[in-house]
Structure 1
Amino acid sequence: HHFPFRQYKPLVTSYDYDAPLNEAGDPTPKYYAIRRVLEKFYSKHPELYVLNNDRSHKYGHSLPTIPPSSTKTSYGTIQISGYKTFEQILADDLLTVTTKLTNGPKSMEQLSVNNKSGASQGFILYTLWPIMLSFLPMGKRYFNLCQASINFNSIYRPKLKNLSILVENMGRINFGPMLDRSRKGLLDKVLIDGKIKIKEWIVHVLEFRQGTSNINGWKPMQTTPDAKNILHDGPRLFFATFPIDNQQLIGDTYLNLDFNWSKGVAFCNGFNLGRYWNVGPQRTLYIPAQLLVKGVNQIQIFELYTYGSNLTLVDTPLLNQR
C-alpha cells in the first residue's frame, strides 16, 4: 500500500490496481480466475505441488482454503471539531523542524536536519523576513510555478512584510541513473527586481515524522456546514474524533473527503494515510482495522487550499471516481 509520502509519480495513494488482491487483502475476481486456472492445471498434473510461504508444507492439486475477507465498517459522518493555523503548525516542534540558511536556498535533501541526512518527504517552507517592496499583495498565492518571474502588483503597500514559498514534494523517481539527483525545494537563487539576491532564509520542514497524535492547542472549529471554505492564510491542520465502544467490532474503513476539501494529507491516530486530491480518480483512503482502537480515535487533515465541516468513514472504497 502507498503509505505515506515516499511513493509518488502521478499515482494515486491506493495500491489497488484491480489486482488479484485489493488494498484490504481481499480476493477479487482476478484471484478466483487465477485459482480456477491452477486447479485445472493441477488436476491434469497430480505429480506437481506448491510450497507454502515457509516451505514447510506441500499442496498438491488441492489448493489451500481461501481466507475470509476482512470486516469493513462504516463509522458514519464525523464533524471537524478543531484546527491549527499555519502559524501554529510552524511553531510546533512536533510538526516542524526549523533551520536557517545564510548563503541562499538549498533543497530539502541538502539541509542539516535529521542528523544531517537531510529531509526527503513532505513540505518545505522558505521564509524571508522582513522584505522591502513597494508593492506586495495581501494574501496572494501562486501555484504550480517551476521557474518563474512573479510581478507583485497591489494597491496595498506595506512597509515591511515576509515572503514565504511553500514547496510540496510530490514524489521521487524509483529507478534509473537519476536516483541520487532528484532534488526538491528551491534549487537556484531567488532574486528581487532581478538583481537583489536573497541569501538569508528561515526554513521550516514538515515531514510529519512524529505523526500527529500528541498535538494540543486546537482552535475551536467555526464553519458553515456543507460549504467550501477557502484558506486565505496558508494551510491548516484539522482535527476530528470518533468513538468505537467496547461492544463494537473494529473493522477496516475508508476515509471519504467530499469536494469541499481540495488537496492534502490525512492521518489516523497519528499514522500517515497518504495524500488525497479532489481531482480523482481516488476518493477514499484505506484505514486498516489495526490502526483503530476501542475508545476515542483521531483523524487529522492537513489541507492546502479549501476545507469543509465534516468527513465520512465508509465501508466501501471509491477508487475510480471523476
Structure 2
Amino acid sequence: MTSFSIGDTEFLRDGRPHRVLAGAIHYFRVHPDQWQDRIRKARLMGLNTIETYVAWNAHEPRRGEWDATGWNDLGRFLDLVAAEGMDAIVRPGPYICAEWHNGGLPVWLTGDGRELRSSDPSYLVDVSAYLRRVYEIVAPRQIDRGGPVVLVQIENEYGAYGSDKDYLRTLVAVTRDAGITVPLTTVDQPTDQMLADGSLPELHKTGSFGSRSTERLATLRRHQPTGPLMCSEFWDGWFDWWGGVHHTTDTAAAASDLDDLLATGASVSIYMFHGGTNFGLTNGANDKGRYLPLVTSYDYDAPLDEAGNPTAKFFAFRDVIAKYAAVPEELPAVAPEAPAFSVPLIRAGAWTDAAASAARTEHPLSFDALGHLSALVRYDVVLPDGRGGQLVVDDVRDLAWVSVDGVPIGTLARTRHDRAITIPAGAALRILVEDQGRVNYDHRLGEEKGLIGAITLNGEPLTGWTSTPLDVAAIAASDSFTATGTGPSAWTGTFDLDAPADLFLDTAEWSKGYAFVNGFFLGRYWRNGPTRTMYVPAPATVGGENRIVVLELEQLLSPTAAFLPALSLGVTEE
C-alpha cells in the first residue's frame, strides 16, 4: 500500500517528495449525482487532491438520528475521489464554519448552555461519539489501506476562538484511537497568536489566507519550523449576504497570488474549487454588530461556478499550476446555455395557516424549545380588551411579519435592530417569525431563534401565546394550502423538459420565500439581492412534466416562473 508522511521539508508519498495541490468541494453542497463531474473537473485543472469538510448537523440534525446515506454519503464521495485517481483531505471539525448554518454544529448540541469547542466533559462526550462515527467511514479509506485519504484536520481555525489545549489533545486522542494513522493537521490564519493558540506541537500547522502569500508563509514558518509549508485554505473568492453585493476577486490577482505561493514550494488547497449551493435552509449568517444572513448561492467566485461550469479563474489557475506540475491536456466540455422559458403560476392558497401542532404557554416558545429545525414559527395571542398601541419585543431572531386580525401591519428585522412597532386595535395579534440562518462562527453559535425575551404592549406584559412551528418543506410536499386563508400565498406550476437539465430560476419578480422543483428544496429567495437566480441541478428535474411550488411570504410581482439561460448572481463591487 502507498504511504504518506511528513518529511523534514516536504510531504512524502512512498518516501518521495510530494506537493499537495488540492481544491475544496463540500459534498453536502452539491447534488450527489454531480459529485463525480466536479471531482473530475478538479483533476482537469491540475489538482491532485480533493478537500472536504464534514457537516455534523447534516449527518445528525437530531440527537441519535445519524445518517450517512444519499447527500450524506461521505464514503461514496471519497470513493469517487479515489476512482478519479486523486487523494482526499478530510476536515471533520467538529466545528467547520464554512458559512454553513451554526458552523456545522447541531442545534441540539449548541442550545443547552454547554461551553462549546472546549474540554467541557459533556461536550466532549458528544463530540467524541460524532468523530468516531466519521472515522468509521474515513479510517478504512486512508491511503495506507488502499484509499484516498492522506490528511485529517483537527478542529478548524481554533486559534480564532480559543486556546484550550486539553480540548485539542482529546480530539487527537479520539482520532488516533479510531484508527486514523495519516498525518494530522490544524489550520489558522497566519498571526502569531492564532497559530500559537490553535494547535499542538505534534500537529502539523497550516495557514489560511488569500493574498500576500510570501509574507504569510514566513509567519507560518516561524511556528512550523520543519516539514512542508501549506496554505490549506487559499481564499480565491468570497461569500455573499442578503442586501449586499456579489463578491468577486480579480482573476489575474488571484492567479498571481497562487503563483507566488507555489513558487515557494508550498502545498495548497484552493478554497473553494467549487462552492455549490446552500440548498434548503442551510445558509449561515454573519454578525459583527449587524446580523447578515447569507444567500442561497455559494458560488464563491470559484474556478467552477455554482452550476459546476469552468470560469476564467479555472483556466488562469490551470496555467499557473502547469508551471509546477503536469496538467491533463483534456479540458472540460463547454456547457450549453440552459433552457430559457416562462410558465404561469396558479395561486394554490394560503400556506402559513397550515394546521400543525401548537404549544400554548404564557410566553412565546423559541424554535429551540419547540425542537423546530425549519424556517418559521407562527405566534398568536389575543389582544387584551382589543387594545392596540406600542408593541415592544426584547429581541427578534430574525425577521417577523406582524398582523392584526389578518391585516399586515409591518415587519421587525434583526438586521435593522428593530424592537418596536405600533399596532392598531383588534382582536388577535399574529407574528410570523423566520429563522434566516444561524451565525456560523465565534460565540453566537447556538443562539436561540424566535421571539426572545419579554414582549410588552403599552408597557404591560403580553401573555397567553400559541406557538406553532411551520415546516416549510413538509407544507410544500403535502400541498397543505387553505383556499380561504388570509396569510401568505402558495403558488404552483408545471413545465415540460425534453430531458433533465440544469435550470436557473429567475426570482426577480418575486419578493421573499422558498422554492421547490419536483419536491427538491432549492432554498430561499429574496428581492433584497444580490442573487437573482436559484440553481436547479439537472438531477432534480425529469424529462417530461416537472412541478414547481413557490411559498411566497409577501407578494409576487408577477405570477410567473421564468428560467434564464445562465446564472445571475447580482451586481459586483467595482
TM category (shorter chain) comes to 0.7 to 0.9
1:174 equivalent in alignment to 2:440: yes
Cα-to-partner distance string for 1:186-235 (whole Å, 9 max, x where unaligned): 1113223322440x222222232436234266759xxxxxxxxxxx9432
The structure 2 residue matched to 1:315, chosen from 565, 568, 574, is 565
Matches within 5 A, 1:153-168: 153=424, 161-168=427-434
Q: CA deviation at 1:99?
A: 1.7
Q: What amino acid sits opposite 2:543 in the alignment?
A: K
Separation in structure 2 between the aligned mates of residue 81 and residue 218 of structure 1, nearest angstrom: 14
CA distance in 2, matches of 1:207, 1:64: 49
Listed as ranges, the matches of 1:259-274 within 5 Å are: 259=509, 261-274=510-523
* Greater relative contact order structure (CA < 8 Å, 6+ sep): 1
Q: In 2, distance between residues paired with 1:302 and 1:320?
A: 22
**Partners in 2 of 1:121 and 1:176 — Cα distance?**
23
Are 1:256 and 2:506 an aligned pair?
yes
| 1:58-207 alignment, distance < 5 Å | 61-63=326-328, 65-86=330-351, 89-92=352-355, 97-111=356-370, 118-129=371-382, 131-135=384-388, 139-145=407-413, 148-153=419-424, 161-180=427-446, 182-198=447-463, 200-207=464-471
Partner of 1:115: none
Partner of 2:527: 278
Q: Which residue of 1 aligns with 2:304?
A: 21
- Equivalent residue for 1:37? 320
1:4 corresponding residue in structure 2: 280
**Cα deviations across residues 261-296 of structure 1 (Å, max 9, x unaligned)?**
211111111221111111222111000010011232
* Amino acid in structure 2 at the alignment position of 1:256: D
Partner letter of residue 255 of structure 1? L
Q: Quick check: 2:297–2:306 contact (8 Å CA) kept in 1?
A: yes
Alpha-carbon separation, structure 1, partners of 2:329 and 2:368: 47
CA contact (8 A) 1:26 1:70 kept: yes
Q: Across the two proteins, how many residue pairs are aligned to each other?
A: 270
Q: Which residue of 2 aligns with 1:224?
A: none
Aligned residue type for 1:175: Y
Higher percent of residues as helix: 2
Describe the superposition over 1:114-166 as per-residue Cα deviations: whole angstroms up to 9, x where unpaired: xxxx113411110114653244866142212556343334xxx65xx211011
How much has 1:242 moved relative to structure 2?
A: 0.9
Matching residue of 1:298: 547
Cα displacement string for residues 66-87 of structure 1 (whole angstroms, at most 9, x for unaligned residues): 333555432511101232214x
Code of the residue aligned with 2:357 in structure 1: it is T
Classify the secondary structure of the residue corresponding to 1:177: helix
In 2, Cα distance between the equivalents of 1:256 and 1:145? 25
Q: Give the equivalent residue in structure 2 for 1:287.
A: 536
Unaligned regions of 5+ residues in structure 2, if any?
Answer: 1-276, 286-291, 390-403
Partner deviation per Cα, 1:39-86 (whole Å, 9 max, x = no partner): 2223xxxxxxxxxxxxxxxxxx24263333555432511101232214
When normalised by structure 1's length, the TM-score is: 0.75
Is the contact between residue 284 and residue 440 of structure 2 (CA under 8 Å) also seen in structure 1? no
What is the one-letter code of the residue matched to 2:441?
Answer: F
What is the TM-score when the length of structure 2 is the normalising length? 0.43
Letter in 1 for 2:457: I
The separation in 1 between residues aligned to 2:332 and 2:310, in whole angstroms, is 9
